Amino acid sequence: GDSVTQMEGPVTLSEEAFLTINCTYTATGYPSLFWYVQYPGEGLQLLLKATKADDKGSNKGFEATYRKETTSFHLEKGSVQVSDSAVYFCALKGSGGSYIPTFGRGTSLIVHP
Amino acid sequence: EADIYQTPRYLVIGTGKKITLECSQTMGHDKMYWYQQDPGMELHLIHYSYGVNSTEKGDLSSESTVSRIRTEHFPLTLESARPSHTSQYLCASRNTGELFFGEGSRLTVL
């Protein structure tokens, strides 16, 4: 079945540092890939997405590129802020008509001033 | 801004009580989901629905039940709450793409 593996946290960075959160997936066909963010006390919200190979999703300074050859969708940001402190989830939606999205286990990011 | 709403946001109840967590969306989405989120943040799917009158159990065994009588409404019910049900419950919906989540219901059972 489909699966998503993302790096364990917490990831602790100083403000303005470079961020990478790794995400790899296993799926048949051509899934759509997503990053969601969960701020403290809230539900998840979509951060960015990519629906086909080599697509780059971007939002709020975050980027991720759909790499089919390495089955990866790593999240990056050039300069993090304290307000980026949150939990980040990588997810996929299979292309086979499945109704069930697959989530990674979440990575906590803590940014210090 | 997502148009999906959960009530209550916070609930503290005693063991053995019956509770219903409400979830409503105004986007006309067919597919709706309930997730349980543990303190380690991982999401566990407990119920989902393809549309009106369809409900399915998810990966995580749960003593809760759901109903889907109207497209916009997907309530989750615990007939007899126990301390092991203490958790964060997240409702979500989607059409063909990404999920839209409510803000969650944090349940504490004493």
- Highest mean pLDDT, choosing among A26-35, A98-107, B16-25: B16-25
- Highest mean pLDDT, choosing among A38-42, A98-102, A104-108, B95-99: A104-108
Tens of pLDDT along B91-101? 999 988 899 99
> Can you tell me the mean pLDDT for B4-27?
96
Give the residues across from B7 on adjacent strands.
Answer: B22
| pLDDT at site A97 | 66
Q: How far is B100 from chain A (nearest CA, A)?
A: 7
Give the residues across from B9 on adjacent strands.
Answer: none
Phi/psi region, residue B16 (left: phi>0; alpha: psi -120 to 50; beta: rest), is left
- d(CA B93, CA A53) in angstroms, rounded, equals 25
| pLDDT at site B6 | 97
The secondary structure of residue A25, as a DSSP letter, is E
Check CB contact under 8 Å for A44 and B50: no
Residue B103 is nearest to which of A42, A87, A103, comparing CB atoms?
Answer: A42
Q: Does A71 touch chain B (CB under 8 A)?
A: no
Per-chain mean pLDDT for chain A: 94
Tens of pLDDT along A50-68? 999 999 999 999 999 999 9
Q: Does A45 touch chain B (CB under 8 A)?
A: yes
- d(CA B35, CA B40) in angstroms, rounded, equals 14
Amino acid at B108: T
β pairing state of A11-14 and B4-7: unpaired
Q: Name the burial class of residue A29, with classes exposed (0-12), middle (13-18) and buried (19+) by CB atoms within 10 angstroms of its CB.
A: exposed
Whether the Cβ atoms of residue B11 and residue B109 lie closer than 8 Å to each other: no
In Å, how far from its chain's centre is CA A23?
Answer: 7
Q: How large a percentage of chain A has pLDDT more than 90? A: 83
